[in-house]
Amino acid sequence: MRAAKFAIYATGVALLGIMLFVVFVYDPPRSDLAWRTTQVQVGDPLRVKVTFEVDKPSRTTAECQVAAFDAEGNSAGRLTGIEIGPRTDGGRTTSLTVLVPTPLEPARDAAVATCQITRGR
């Protein structure tokens, strides 16, 4: 009988410990990175101007790629290695304007293709 009571108390203490760990210590992976294209300027047959925002933790660095598309939706150009560095003011959102070269076809549209955090967390 005494062993059964001890087992019940021990189980309760273990469950309480697990709950406290989950609430106060465990930091589940989450999407700390988001981006959106805010403006696309076409018209120049050799490049397209793209403005976009990247939302990320202020101390991290992200790297993005922007793709341009022709009238049929095929690739007209891509700009890679666009680095968005850490922010010293603690802000999360950075706005950036880039020129994507379109040497083969004039672009009709463009968008951020991908971003990833490359340094920090």
Using 50, 70 and 90 to split pLDDT, how confident is the model at 120?
Answer: confident
The structural domains of the chain, with segments of one domain joined by +, span: 34-119
Return the pLDDT at 67.
97
Cα–Cα distances in angstroms (integers) from residue 13 to residues 20, 78, 85, in the given order: 10, 57, 45
Provide the CATH number for the domain formed by 34-119 in this structure: 2.60.40.2150
Sign of CA dihedral 104, 106, 108, 113: positive
36-80 pLDDT, tens digit each: 999 999 999 999 999 999 999 999 999 999 999 999 999 999 999
Which pLDDT belongs to residue 28?
47
- Local confidence band at 29 (pLDDT 50, 70, 90 cut-offs): very low
Phi and psi of 3, rounded to 5°? -65, -35
Q: How many CB atoms lie within 10 A of CB 110?
A: 27
